[in-house]
Amino acid sequence: MRAQKGPKGRIAILTGGGDVPGLNPAIRAITYRAIREGFDVVGIRRGWAGLIEVKRDQEADNSHAVMPLTKDLVESFARTGGTFLHSSRTRPSAVPGKDVPDIMKNRYSGEVNDLTSEVIANLEFLDVDYLVPIGGDDTLSYGVELERNGVPVVAVPKTMDNDVPGTDYCIGFSTCVSRTINLANQMRTSAQSHERVMVVEVFGRYAGYTSLLPTLAGAAHRCLIPESPADIEKVTEIILEDRANNPQRSATVLVSEGATLAGGEMSILGGEKDMFGHAKLGGIGQQVSALIKQLSPKYNDGRKVDMIAMNLGYLVRSGDPDSLDSIVPLVFGNLAVDHILRGDTGRMVALRNGRYDSVPIDTVVAYKKVVDVERFYDAERYRPTYDAFELQPMFVVGAS
């Protein structure tokens, strides 16, 4: 790390949670602007994990946890996907005993440990004046904790699920929607060739934006979202009706990973949970596909319908950002530095009703941002509503 701090102070950037396209452009934007304004910039490696792994010793090598950011370095990653700072799902206020760094095990021996005081001490040791976490509601919720403990924080929202409260848009969402549309359209040719029903599972733990918006754009006939449990019998009847009415004799349904069937629970892969209490989801698409096939004779003159089941998973998360996820991160990064220059911390930059803005950072923990089913989803027909678009934000479902 640099020995000499910038004349206006030091800014630290970290990225937490799942990777998305657009993170590296955001890091670049913050770094370029901050250096030009007289700050120096450091990157915290592996999200909040880096801030619990710092050794508070001037002679120690902390390159595993923190790195200086220069214009040349961030430029080399600017147009690539993912995050060169790496990421994790660490929550310093709830670290399992097995994950406590070795240098702290003599002080923290509980099953779950709050290392917030260590994080604050490490930020002071690193001489960080301002912290810019880039993440979803989990990552940013811990930013709220630090802000309440006196750390100057300006947050940047990112998540493919687009479910961070207070903003209409999160970095990564456009690329996710664009890829979902493209991949669903690409796979449709196989479904049409063999007259099959295609079930495509996409991300979306609690919010169904990533299946609702592609369906609105015509990538699927129906979508199942977490906010509205589905009656599989009714879904089967409707999707086979769609297939029968389609000259190509195929139909597509998008399923959010957090969707549930009436009377059922989320489909969980394994039992281990992360530090935010989340189990890994997956498999609901396969489940829906199998049930539709099982029930299909009832709605297809006694004959079973062949299926295609796909989980898009990391195909929509990896790779380079699209145009929106190249532009929005640049603006969000500059907005974050604007707030720092004004001393206006405790904020999250945002996009609301088509305009760049900011909200108090504790908006992140004020409520859950999910699809308003009554306004935007036809729970009887398992599809978006197609009216009342006037004065809605560009992506239709906003920050309300």
My answer on whether 159 and 235 are in the same domain is no
Residue pLDDT, tens place only, 21-67 = 999 999 999 999 999 999 999 999 999 999 999 999 999 999 999 99
Of the pLDDT bands very low, low, confident and very high (cuts 50, 70, 90), residue 118 is: very high
Query: Considering the domain boundaries, does residue 395 fall inside one?
Result: no
**Average confidence (pLDDT) over 136-141:** 94
Of the pLDDT bands very low, low, confident and very high (cuts 50, 70, 90), residue 117 is: very high
What is the chain's mean pLDDT, rounded?
A: 91
What is the pTM assigned to this prediction? 0.92
**Average confidence (pLDDT) over 233-260:** 96
Of the pLDDT bands very low, low, confident and very high (cuts 50, 70, 90), residue 74 is: very high
Query: Considering the domain boundaries, does residue 1 fall inside one?
Result: no
Look up the CATH number of the domain holding residue 64: 3.40.50.450
My answer on whether 215 and 339 are in the same domain is no
Residue pLDDT, tens place only, 174-206 = 999 999 999 999 999 999 999 999 999 999 988
Which residue out of 129, 161, 242, 362 is catalytically annotated? 161
My answer on whether 102 and 224 are in the same domain is no
102 catalytic, yes or no? no
Distances (CA, A) of 289 to 78, 134, 204, 296: 39, 36, 18, 10
Q: Give the burial string for 330-340 (b: 16+ CB within 10 Å, else e).
A: bebbbbbbbbb
Of 44, 215, 207, the residue nearest 125 (C-alpha): 44
Cα 223 to Cα 379: distance, rounded to the nearest angstrom: 10
Q: What pLDDT was estimated at residue 264?
A: 66
First to last CA, the chain: 42
My answer on whether 312 and 325 are in the same domain is no
- Transcribe 325-370 into DSSP letters: HHHHHHHHHHHHHHHHHHT--SEEEEEETTEEEEEEGGGGGTS---
Q: What pLDDT was estimated at residue 266?
A: 55
My answer on whether 166 and 239 are in the same domain is no
Query: Considering the domain boundaries, does residue 398 fall inside one?
Result: no
Residue pLDDT, tens place only, 92-116 = 999 999 999 988 999 998 999 999 9
Residue pLDDT, tens place only, 375-389 = 899 999 999 988 777
Q: What pLDDT was estimated at residue 400?
A: 47
Distances (CA, A) of 121 to 34, 125, 126, 151, 286: 24, 6, 9, 11, 47
Cα 324 to Cα 249: distance, rounded to the nearest angstrom: 35
My answer on whether 122 and 269 are in the same domain is no
Q: Which two tokens stand for residue 127?
A: 């001489």
Share of the chain above pLDDT 90, in %: 83
Look up the CATH number of the domain holding residue 236: 3.40.50.460
**Average confidence (pLDDT) over 279-303:** 88
- DSSP, res 284: H
Q: What pLDDT was estimated at residue 2?
A: 46
My answer on whether 96 and 142 are in the same domain is yes
Cα 213 to Cα 236: distance, rounded to the nearest angstrom: 21
- Count how many domains the chain has: 2
Cα 383 to Cα 391: distance, rounded to the nearest angstrom: 21
**Average confidence (pLDDT) over 352-379:** 93
Q: What pLDDT was estimated at residue 392?
A: 73
My answer on whether 103 and 71 are in the same domain is yes
Q: Structural domain of residue 307, as residue ranges?
A: 175-318+373-384
Q: What pLDDT was estimated at residue 340?
A: 98
